[in-house]
Amino acid sequence: DLNLNISPWIPEDWLNMRFRVKWHQANVRISVSKGQVIIKSTGKLKIKVYGQEYQINECEEVKIKR
């Protein structure tokens, strides 16, 4: 499985968290808050978030409700 697969969570007393990963030549920015996950990628990407698959196009931002 070459998809990026994440199930991010944050500690109860945090408001949000952001991090970046490099995945198959794409820079991926992931922001996590209590209510949603926001993903933006510099390249085309297939990603599973909490088991659900998403297709992200180059420079597209995807918002996923938790």
pLDDT digits 0-9 by tens, 4-30:
999 999 999 999 999 999 998 899 999
Please say whether the beta carbons of 26 and 48 come within 8 A.
no
Instruction: Encode 20-34 in three state secondary structure.
Output: EEEECCEEEEEEEEC
Q: What is the pLDDT at residue 14?
A: 96
Structure tokens at 34: 């209590």
pTM of structure: 0.89
Q: What is the pLDDT of residues 26-52, one digit of tens each?
A: 999 999 999 999 999 999 999 999 999
User: Burial of 4 by CB count in 10 Å (0-12 exposed, 13-18 middle, 19+ buried)?
Assistant: buried
